[in-house]
Amino acid sequence: MDLVNNLSLGLETALQWQNVLFCLVGVALGTAVGVLPGIGPTATIALLLPVTFNFDSPTSALIMLAGIYYGAQYGGSTTAILINLPGESSSAVTAIDGNQMAKKGQAGLALATAAIGSFVAGTVATLVLAVAAPPLAKVALTFGAAEYFSLVVLGLMISVTLARGSVPKALAMVSLGILLGTVGQDLNTGTPRFTFDVRELFEGVNFVALAVGIFGITEILRNLRDPQTRDAKLHEVHSLWPRGKELRAMSGPIARGTGLGSLMGILPGGGHILAPFASYAAEKKLSRHPEQFGHGALAGVAGPESANNAAAQTSFIPLLTLAIPANPVMALMIGAFIIQGITPGPNVINEQPALVWGLIASMWIGNVLLVALNLPLIGLWVRMLKVPYWVMFPTIVVLASIGTYSVSNNPWHVFMIAAFGLLGFVLVQCGCEPAPLLLGFVLGPLLEENLRRAMLISQGDPSTFVTRPISAGLLAVGALALLVAVLPAMRKKREKVFVEED
């Protein structure tokens, strides 16, 4: 019973008091930032990444970062329901029906539905993760350089397919990210590339500075440009626990949302953002009363919330088994692994079982903590939203700069934050999403390294990528994904999904 052994090892690690504490800090911080509109989980983790550098144990650091991630998903939906202010993009769907329910005096029921849905989905997805991770890691261990190259290509192609906006723009962003990843000394020969004789660029573009700039600072600039303000009226919460009839009504959507979310979370790119939209669309189609959607339909809260959480959980699968990040948040987690001195990859699960299983088990504990933490503290979260922008934004910028500087005491990294913040803002104004850029930046070196290694092994014969069956298969799927994205019929559907998002 490997599964039981693994899970008990994980629980043992995750239940150590300091890890529970870090988990609590993580979910609390995550909720706090999930509540704030604009500054999503990616920006938060980017901003808080420097904080975890000085942690003694990598397990605690990763548990806290993971806590921030799903805490943010959760906090976003609480404010979406109570004040129609979705804290981050994946809870925008919850706001549609959740806030309508709150207006009808069913705020308690909507919150409970979101909590139950998130919790059930989180639990199931954690089990999926626990079951799927070890065999996948075993498969990944047999991968050679050629397979890894093709896998990275596949990951990048799918992230282009799932990115919002136009395919060429996403492709451009991925390429820009890969290019940024090549700055610095060549891994094999030590030749400086794209350094323009600036000595500080020899070590390459700093990952934390890039992430903080392009997500944190860009989000702040975007918020300054289009501020949004809502009234502070809180819908009263009473009769929290749903009745039998309502429990039955939500069980179907929760089950479907969990399944859909678990699947979409594994996909690279915007899987975790798309999952709630896909679930909402599916529930609306399946419902016997589609006209109720948009006017406080229970299924419109239960489905997307479950899908959202399940996807957040399963997006750890490619990270833990293949070291391929499924989304920008996971790219940041890879950064955290590296900073803690762990090389992410299929070996991590064998070499650091306590870390991997502890992380998995902590997600379950985190979900329990979130339910306990969120409802009593909703007043606090709303009070936090009253902090004026002119206090909040400068504070964030200062903290982020200090944090990034403290990692390696290099003032250049602070300049990089500013430069990438501006670059990110310009890109966003041009309708380009920064997420594929970060994925390209993280996966670029991996892509290059494996390409060169495979070419060395095959003695310069590029056909190695298509003659090895696994590699050829992965490349074919990648090509198919790209093809599907540019096909006219598919493109229309894709645009429709993203229009609903806006």
Partner 1 sequence: MTVVLAHVPNESADAAFDAALEQARFRGTGVVVVNVAPGDAPVDDRIVPEDGVAALTRRGADAGVEVTVEQPVDGDVAGAVLDSAKRHDAALVVVGVRRRSAVGKLLMGSVAQRIILDADCQVLGVKG
Please say which residue, 103 or 248, places its beta carbon nearer to partner 1. Answer: 103
Please say which residue, 59 or 84, places its beta carbon nearer to partner 1. Answer: 84
Site for partner 1 in 392-411 (CB under 8 A): 392
Number of residues that bind partner 1 (CB under 8 A): 19
Q: Which of 168, 389, 461, 480 touches partner 1 by CB under 8 A?
A: 389
Under rule CB under 8 A, residue 390 binds partner 1? yes
Site pattern 55..94 for partner 1 (x: CB under 8 A): ----------------------------x-x---------
CB of 117 closer than 8 Å to CB of 439: no
The residue type of 308 is N
End-to-end CA distance of the chain: 47
Closest separation in Å from C-beta 40 to partner 1? 14
Q: Which residues contact 74 (CB under 8 A, 6 or more apart)?
A: 27, 30, 31, 34, 118, 309, 370, 374
Please say which residue, 338 or 392, places its beta carbon nearer to partner 1. Answer: 392
Q: Which of 61, 112, 382, 438 touches partner 1 by CB under 8 A?
A: 382
Please say which residue, 82 or 180, places its beta carbon nearer to partner 1. Answer: 82
Our CA dihedral for 309, 310, 312, 313, rounded to 10 degrees, sits at 120
Site for partner 1 in 275-334 (CB under 8 A): none
Under rule CB under 8 A, residue 225 binds partner 1? no
CA distance 218 to 418: 9
Please say which residue, 218 or 262, places its beta carbon nearer to partner 1. Answer: 218
Site for partner 1 in 19-48 (CB under 8 A): 36-37
Nearest to 36 by CA among 380, 400, 305: 380
Which region, judged by CB under 8 A, interacts with partner 1, from 224-232, 237-245, 345-353, 449-457?
Answer: 224-232
Under rule CB under 8 A, residue 230 binds partner 1? yes
Go through 443-481 and write b for each residue having 16 or more CB atoms within 10 A of its CB, e for each that does not: bbbbbbbbbebbbeebeeeeebbeebeebbebbebbeeb
Which region, judged by CB under 8 A, interacts with partner 1, from 41-49, 325-333, 384-392, 435-443?
Answer: 384-392
Q: Which of 231, 245, 341, 469 touches partner 1 by CB under 8 A?
A: 231
Q: Which residues contact 479 (CB under 8 A, 6 or more apart)?
A: 157
Closest separation in Å from C-beta 221 to partner 1? 16
Please say which residue, 230 or 496, places its beta carbon nearer to partner 1. Answer: 230
Under rule CB under 8 A, residue 442 binds partner 1? no
Under rule CB under 8 A, residue 388 binds partner 1? yes
3-state secondary structure 6-70: HHHHHHHHHCCHHHHHHHHHHHHHHHHHHHCCCCCHHHHHHHHHHHHHHCCCHHHHHHHHHHHHH
Which region, judged by CB under 8 A, interacts with partner 1, from 23-31, 49-57, 110-118, 386-394?
Answer: 386-394
Our CA dihedral for 149, 153, 154, 159, rounded to 10 degrees, sits at 140
Which parts of this chain interact with partner 1 (CB under 8 A)?
36-37, 83, 85, 227-233, 382, 385-390, 392
